[in-house]
Amino acid sequence: MLLQSLKKTDYTQNLLFILSEKGKPDSKAPAHIQRFAKVFQASKKEFDFLKTEEQQVFFIKENKDREKNRVAGHTLRTQLDKDAKELTIIGENEETAFTVAEGLLLSNYQFLKYFKDAAEKKYGLQSVYIDSDKKKIKQYNQLIEAVYWTRDMVNEPVSYLTATQLSQEIEKLFEGLDVEIDVFEKSKIEALKMGGLLAVNKGSVEPPTFTIIEYKPKKAVNKKPLVLVGKGVVYDTGGLSLKPTPGSMDLMKSDMAGAAMMAGTVYAAAKNELNVHLVALIPATDNRPGMDAYTPGDIITMFDGTTVEVLNTDAEGRMILADALSYSQKYDPELVINSATLTGAAVVAIGTRATCMMGNADQKVLDKLTASGLRVHERVVQLPFWDEYLEDMKSSVADLKNIGGRYAGMITAGKFLEHFVKAPFVHLDIAGPSFLEATENYKGKGGTGVGVRLLYDFLEHKSKSNA
């Protein structure tokens, strides 16, 4: 656990001072540090540091903008010696100190598993001391741990992370926690007639899985559970509607980011003992153009009996999610939230800096998600969800088809999913922000773990209020 409770400041170690405009630098600090702090405060600089043989001392100006603090935490990571083992954060405002630490910790993430010289590349940071109570520190650490796990899963290639492996990783993650995990294997999925998941899996040599994660705390504020559904396409070639490689198929190990986000969120909620009853449903498979692959023109009977004409095998996410969404009915949920790297249209519309959100749930729920997104800077943009969009998904030979027209692909996909859900529904299309091709501050490069901090914030507020 990186973040630790500060007992006594050791001024000979690495330090970070967060200075307010009028606040005085720590009077117990050595004279040369105080002098540097005064000059820094009077300057226009936002960030500066002094370095000796023995220590690094960083200075950041106090900022009300939480995101600026997180980015400052990232700048700190870029300047801190790779081998530095510890850092003490000294600031007047606890909230600012935490958000700077959050940026630092998220920036400290590395995915080194496949490097021969991983040990040399690894950051040495082991302890970041902060003056706050142990419980809050523990909660922050556990939330960050959930984001790390989510990033790891997204960064793992399919040569390791098959559908079966994803289920096993989830089981491993929740070991020792009061959370129930149930993994359906292929025979059970066949018995249940999950036609969408089975159709997508037909071209693969790896079997599909369907993982259920249930966290039911004794003092849950909700009588009916929240069901979280996440797309677990562990690799997407597009199937017979094969994707091109550059900037497309080469990124598709990330097509299970929705699944990882939902498992990561339940993990953070369970570890931090939020009082919200949650069920996560994770349908998982790879999508390949194998000998028996499902084809454009196929008509598939889904878990709930709806028939779907497949016109593009690369629109596979909605096929596997539809079965999970209808399965959610078993829990009579208060709300169903779906997350998926679902459409290129979402990326075209708003890029990598936000998630497309839509749904038929009460506007208050959507507003709360929007507010959570702003607080944690995992922003969501609400799109229209009018019924006319479903017209694009009607087939002439089946109940629905799996692709719409040329426009608003993220909304028509959302309407397709909505067809399978009885409860109030929210859909998050995370195709843009879940995986970055270039480093973007503390979000890093590769899997970002987007959505975990968003949903955690949403659930934490629900846990406290149940409004």
Among the listed ranges 38-46, 96-104, 218-226, 232-240, the one in contact with Zn ion (CB under 5 A) is 232-240
Among the listed ranges 70-78, 98-106, 205-213, 307-315, the one in contact with Zn ion (CB under 5 A) is 307-315
Measured from the CB atom, the residue of 361 and 431 that comes closer to Zn ion is 431
Name the CA dihedral angle for 409, 413, 418, 421, rounded to a multiple of 10 degrees.
-160
CA distance 29 to 34: 6
Measured from the CB atom, the residue of 206 and 316 that comes closer to Zn ion is 316
| Residues of span 63-92 touching Zn ion by CB under 5 A | none
Least Å distance, CB 237 to Zn ion, is 8
CA 359 to chain centre: 19
Q: Where do the H-state alpha helices sit in 237-380?
A: 257-271, 317-327, 344-350, 363-376
Least Å distance, CB 232 to Zn ion, is 13
Measured from the CB atom, the residue of 304 and 316 that comes closer to Zn ion is 316
C-alpha dist (Å) from residue 375 to 62, 122, 144, 169, 424: 17, 30, 16, 30, 24
Q: Is 429 in the site for Zn ion (CB under 5 A)?
A: no
Could you give the count of Cα atoms lying within 13 Å of 64 in the half-sphere of its Cβ?
A: 1
DSSP percent split of the chain into helix, strand, coil, nearest 5: 40, 20, 40
Pairing label, strands 299-301, 307-309: antiparallel
**Residue closest to Zn ion when measured from CB atoms:** 314
Measured from the CB atom, the residue of 409 and 444 that comes closer to Zn ion is 409
Least Å distance, CB 289 to Zn ion, is 12
| Residues of span 264-283 touching Zn ion by CB under 5 A | none
Least Å distance, CB 389 to Zn ion, is 20
Least Å distance, CB 255 to Zn ion, is 7
List residues with catalytic annotation.
Answer: 243, 318
Per-residue binding string, Zn ion, 314-353, x by CB under 5 A, is: x-x-------------------------------------
CA distance 412 to 343: 10
State the greatest distance between any 2 C-alpha atoms of the chain, in Å, as a whole number.
Answer: 81
Measured from the CB atom, the residue of 26 and 236 that comes closer to Zn ion is 236
CA distance 333 to 77: 42
Q: Pick from 145, 236, 304, 378: which binds Zn ion (CB under 5 A)?
A: 236
CA distance 462 to 404: 35
Least Å distance, CB 250 to Zn ion, is 14
Question: Can you give the binding site for Zn ion, defined by CB under 5 A?
Answer: 236, 314, 316
